């Protein structure tokens, strides 16, 4: 299932770290408004946080179609399930920490098990709220949702992928969770990119070692690969936007064709993308995997600071890759 062409946009540009950065929430709200214009079924559902989900413009354009339930996440997800019962396509926007922790049983029962056409958008996930502490850091969301049946989990890496994932979700019946990052990221994909759930993209070829990543960490993986290349190491970078279902073929190709895998994500080291990759390789082709992520509640600090500190600076990722050679 893996596409093997690197996105053209990457080839022509300089170092990824030097590219301009974008807040994916803008792509999120623009796409949502666009979808809403062409499909009257689409509605937004929020828990007070209109502003932090950047939904003010959407609210202005569709005042009736942004449903604010107040600070009540359980009700928010139940209401979304009921809206879906009534034929609507709700995009639930809430800080990922509260959406997933507070409404987990509603996600399991009312959305996944009930197979409702609800799109859960986890805003400002991972350590985006770094200074606000562990209660607001949403590093567990991926592991939590991965344990639940019937839930596609998407972690887009840039604005283009965020928009593409949303368009796919709007067009596809069934439960989905999309992480919408707050931390600015460089553009990785160009407009030719098509999102296919469960499909990885090799964003950089390489055959010594593979880095599998997604979300806000993908550009860091690319920067690590640039460094590694300078040091004579050929690192493959696999973009894995869909954590569930995982692109098993892409993982096994990496396991077979390179000497080891580094996974790098803005998530816990227990049960996230790294866990999914580990479960896959031990089943079919045991390989060394270095799982980068957060292994504990994180201290105070900016998202970038915390990612670097956890070994996910470009240097840190490159070092992890080298340790596998």
Ligand X SMILES: Cc1ncc(C[n+]2csc(CCOP(=O)(O)OP(=O)(O)O)c2C)c(N)n1
Catalytic residues: 73
Of the candidates 300, 212, 220, 216, the one whose C-alpha atom is nearest the C-alpha of residue 263 is 212
Find the shortest distance in angstroms from Cβ 81 to a copy of itself: 13
Judged by CB under 8 A, which stretch of 5-13, 64-72, 273-281, 305-313 contacts a copy of itself?
Answer: 273-281
Among the residue ranges 5-13, 25-33, 79-87, 279-287, the one whose residues contact a copy of itself (CB under 8 A) = 279-287
**Using the rule CB under 8 A, is 190 a contact of a copy of itself?**
no
The secondary structure of residue 72, as a DSSP letter, is -
- Closest separation between CB of residue 116 and another protein, Å? 9
What would the x/- binding string for ligand X be over residues 23 to 62, using CB under 6 A? ------------------------xxx-------------
Measure the CA–CA gap between 182 and 94, rounded to whole angstroms: 12
Give, in order, the Cα–Cα distances in Å from 21 to each of 86, 221, 230.
39, 16, 24
Cβ closest to ligand X, residue 99 vs residue 303: 99
Binding status of residue 124 toward ligand X by CB under 6 A:
no
Whether 151 contacts 214, CB under 8 Å: no
| Identity of the residue, 128 or 188, whose beta carbon is nearer to ligand X in the bound complex | 128
CA dist., res. 227 & res. 95, Å (int): 34
Pick the binder of another protein from 33, 36, 42, 43 (CB under 8 A).
Answer: 43
Alpha helices in the chain (DSSP H): 8-11, 24-38, 56-61, 73-85, 96-102, 104-106, 141-146, 159-171, 218-230, 248-257, 273-284, 303-307, 314-322
**Which residues pair with residue 99 across a beta bridge?**
none
Residue 175 contacts a copy of itself per CB under 8 A: no
119 touches 169 (CB < 8 A): yes
Q: Kindly state the number of chain residues that form the binding site for a copy of itself, as judged by CB under 8 A.
A: 44
Report the residue from 57, 286, 300, 325 that binds a copy of itself according to the rule CB under 8 A. 286
Are 177 and 20 spatial neighbours (Cβ–Cβ below 8 Å)?
no
Q: Which of residues 17-76 bind a copy of itself (CB under 8 A)?
A: none
Q: Figure out which of the listed residues 71, 171, 283, 296 binds ligand X, where binding follows CB under 6 A.
A: 71
Task: Give yes or no for residue 270 binding another protein (CB under 8 A).
Answer: no
Neighbours of 26 (CB within 10 A): 14
Minimum Å distance from CB 78 to ligand X?
13
Minimum Å distance from CB 132 to ligand X? Answer: 9
CA distance 296 to 110: 30
**11-18 CB contacts, 8 Å cutoff, 24+ apart:** 15/223, 15/226, 16/186, 16/188, 16/219, 16/222, 16/223, 16/226, 17/186, 17/219, 17/223, 17/314
Indicate which of a copy of itself, ligand X, another protein, none lies near residue 1 (CB less than 5 to 8 Å, by partner kind).
none
Query: Which residues here bind a copy of itself, judged by CB under 8 A?
Result: 98, 101-102, 104-105, 108-109, 112-113, 134-135, 139-140, 143-144, 146-150, 244, 268-272, 274-279, 281-283, 286-291, 295-297
Q: What is the binding site for another protein (CB under 8 A)?
A: 43, 48-52, 64-65, 67-72, 74-75, 77-88, 90, 97-98, 101-102, 105-106, 109-110, 113-115, 129, 131-133, 135-136, 299-302, 305
């Amino acid at each position: 299932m893996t596409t093997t062409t690197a996105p053209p946009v990457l080839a022509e540009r300089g170092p990824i770290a030097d590219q301009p950065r974008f807040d994916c929430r803008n792509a999120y709200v623009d796409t949502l408004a666009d979808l809403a214009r062409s499909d009257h079924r689409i509605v937004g559902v929020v828990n007070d946080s209109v502003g932090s989900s950047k939904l003010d413009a959407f609210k202005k354009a569709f005042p009736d179609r942004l449903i604010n339930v107040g600070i009540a996440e359980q009700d928010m997800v139940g209401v979304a399930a009921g809206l879906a019962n009534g034929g609507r396509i709700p995009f639930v926007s809430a800080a990922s920490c509260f959406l997933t922790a507070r409404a987990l049983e509603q996600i399991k029962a009312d959305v996944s098990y009930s197979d409702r056409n609800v799109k859960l958008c986890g805003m400002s996930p991972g350590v985006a709220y770094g200074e606000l502490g562990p209660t607001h850091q949403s590093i567990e969301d991926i592991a939590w949702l991965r344990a639940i049946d019937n839930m596609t989990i998407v972690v887009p890496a840039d604005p283009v992928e965020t928009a593409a994932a949303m368009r796919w979700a709007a067009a596809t019946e069934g439960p989905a969770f999309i992480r919408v990052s707050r931390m600015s990221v460089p553009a990785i994909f160009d407009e030719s990119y098509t999102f296919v759930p469960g499909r990885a993209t090799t964003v950089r070829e390489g055959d010594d070692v593979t880095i599998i990543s997604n979300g806000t960490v993908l550009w860091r993986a690319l920067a690590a690969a640039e460094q590694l290349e300078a040091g004579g190491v050929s690192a493959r970078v696999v973009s894995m936007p869909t954590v569930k279902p995982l692109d098993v073929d892409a993982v096994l190709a990496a396991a077979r064709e390179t000497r080891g895998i580094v996974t790098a994500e803005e998530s816990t080291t227990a049960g996230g993308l790294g866990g999914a990759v580990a479960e896959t390789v031990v089943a079919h082709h045991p390989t060394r995997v270095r799982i980068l992520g957060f292994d504990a509640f994180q201290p105070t600090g900016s998202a970038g600071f915390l990612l670097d500190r956890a070994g996910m600076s470009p240097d840190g990722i490159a070092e992890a890759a080298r340790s596998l050679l």
